[in-house]
Amino acid sequence: MNADLHCHSTVSDGQFAPTEVAARAHEGGVTLWSLTDHDQLGGQREAREAAQALGISYLVGVEISVTWANRTIHVVGMNVDSENEQLLKGLESTRNGRATRGVAIGEALAAVGIPDCYEGALRFTDDPDMISRTHFARYLVEQGYAESTSDVFARYLGDGKPGFVEHRWARLADCMKWIRDAGGEPIIAHPGRYAYTPVEFSALFDEFIQMGGRAIEVVTGSHTPDQYREYADVVRRYGFEAPRGSDFHGIGESRVGLGQLPPLPDDLKSVWERWL
């Protein structure tokens, strides 16, 4: 089983349309795939049809932006019903603030001498309600302000940098209820990316478990190999299950391609077993 249960398309901040992502997953040897666009299920039908045509098993997925302890975390909803009303409404309300935040990011960057970024970023997405820092990053790279999108985050868009704008996303409890009520499994995405203290991390995992959470990402393109080991230990300690996913966004923006991650450590229970 080559599972890749985390990646993005042009429906959110990926570079390729769902059908092209499917083709790349197939090329990468993926046999169980999920497209997990940010806060949006609009690509699911196309992804499922493309997967079917290629003979790949498919799970409906979404990556939801959540604010917990004043920081943004991402929670993947795996195997959700893409027609569930409450989930669709919840995602819509989560997306709602993006355009306003985008304008504020544009103003913040203008204040440090980089004009017209909101308009520029909009050229990189079809849907203003989906405008993401990734679109700003692509514009800044195009304009020569940075070498790469990760360089843009390090210098302009990351936490505390001049273009960073505080934002409140969904509440963890709400997000978990939307996912559960839509028949899905909530999974904490790439915990290694969050700047929490050890005390905050244990509070997050305890709260997640109390709310019925039982899986976190370990082997993800958004972790380093050292972090695979670190979070495999967390999984063992808490009795979690784990998925596997590249977090592929596009060429030059992702550490690994679709289907290219190492397998989960042998002793870890995979989250996808229950759906096969």
Residues near Mn ion, by CB under 5 A: 13, 63, 74, 189, 247
What is the Cα–Cα distance from 118 to 26, expressed in whole angstroms? 35
The one-letter amino acid at 267: D
The burial of 137, by beta-carbon neighbours within 10 Å (0-12 exposed, 13-18 middle, 19 or more buried), is given as: buried
Name the residue nearer to Mn ion (CB basis): 113 or 196: 196
Name the residue nearer to ligand AMP (CB basis): 158 or 265: 158
Nearest to 18 by CA among 47, 51, 61, 49: 47
The burial of 178, by beta-carbon neighbours within 10 Å (0-12 exposed, 13-18 middle, 19 or more buried), is given as: buried
- Does residue 65 belong to the site contacting ligand AMP (CB under 6 A)? yes
- Report the Cα 276 to chain-centroid distance in Å: 23
Give the other-Cβ count within 10 Å of 103's Cβ: 15
Name the residue nearer to ligand AMP (CB basis): 33 or 153: 153
At 231, list the tokens.
């979070």
What is the Cα–Cα distance from 229 to 194, expressed in whole angstroms? 16
- Does residue 138 belong to the site contacting ligand AMP (CB under 6 A)? no
Instruction: With CB under 6 A as the rule, give the number of residues binding ligand AMP.
Output: 11
- Does residue 68 belong to the site contacting ligand AMP (CB under 6 A)? no
Report CA dihedral (203, 206, 211, 213) to the nearest 10 degrees: 120
Minimum separation from the CB atom of position 38 to ligand AMP (A): 6
- Does residue 227 belong to the site contacting ligand AMP (CB under 6 A)? no
* Binding residue for ligand AMP, selected from 6, 26, 133, 138, defined by CB under 6 A: 133
* Binding residue for ligand AMP, selected from 79, 94, 132, 220, defined by CB under 6 A: 132
- Does residue 153 belong to the site contacting ligand AMP (CB under 6 A)? yes
At 245, list the tokens.
């996913």
Minimum separation from the CB atom of position 8 to ligand AMP (A): 7
- Does residue 37 belong to the site contacting ligand AMP (CB under 6 A)? no
- Does residue 118 belong to the site contacting ligand AMP (CB under 6 A)? no
Name the residue nearer to ligand AMP (CB basis): 105 or 114: 105
Q: State phi, psi for 241 to the nearest 5 degrees.
A: -105, 165
Q: Provide the binding-site residues for ligand AMP, judged by CB under 6 A.
A: 13, 38, 65, 132-134, 149-150, 153, 158, 249
